[in-house]
């Protein structure tokens, strides 16, 4: 018998590439490559070997790999020392470790984060 209250953790392994948009319920860890937009209801972890080209929307994000695109996080954005980010971000809180390489516009103004799947619907590109 399955317990529906157990959190779901999904993973995309290193060496795997997906082209297209991804919608995830639960946590998601990416160690591979994604060319498309990502919408995640919980925590999104971008591993050190990950390369993302697209917009991201999640409650929380932890980044160790590379992202080119835009990000919306409702709660926390954590950029680890190995992270590389190029784009726009709207976030509630942000932590940046020494060594992270960021080329971005950032909005942390205390306001309601938009309820949208992808930044293309909210941020002017």
What tens digit of pLDDT does each residue of 10-21 get?
Answer: 888 998 999 999
Q: Which residues contact 112 (CB under 8 A, 6 or more apart)?
A: none
Q: Which residues contact 122 (CB under 8 A, 6 or more apart)?
A: 72, 90, 114, 116
pTM for this entry: 0.83
Pairing of strands 56-63, 9-12: unpaired
In the chain, where do the E strands start and end?
9-12, 17-19, 22-24, 27-30, 33-35, 38-46, 51-53, 56-63, 66-68, 71-79, 84-96, 101-107
CA dist 43 and 91 (Å) reads: 13
Q: Tens digits of per-residue pLDDT, 33-81?
A: 999 999 999 999 999 999 999 999 999 999 999 999 999 999 999 999 9
pLDDT at 125: 41
């Amino acid at each position: 018998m399955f317990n529906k209250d157990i959190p779901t953790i999904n993973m995309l392994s290193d060496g795997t590439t997906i082209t297209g948009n991804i919608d995830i319920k639960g946590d998601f860890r990416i160690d591979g490559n994604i060319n498309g937009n990502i919408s995640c209801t919980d925590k999104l972890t971008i591993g050190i070997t990950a390369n993302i080209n697209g917009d991201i929307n999640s409650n929380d994000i932890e980044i160790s790999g590379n992202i080119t695109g835009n990000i919306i996080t409702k709660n926390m954005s954590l950029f680890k020392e190995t992270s590389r980010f190029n784009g726009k971000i709207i976030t509630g809180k942000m932590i940046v470790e020494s060594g992270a390489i960021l080329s971005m516009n950032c909005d942390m103004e205390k306001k309601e984060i938009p309820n949208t799947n992808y930044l293309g619907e909210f941020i002017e590109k």
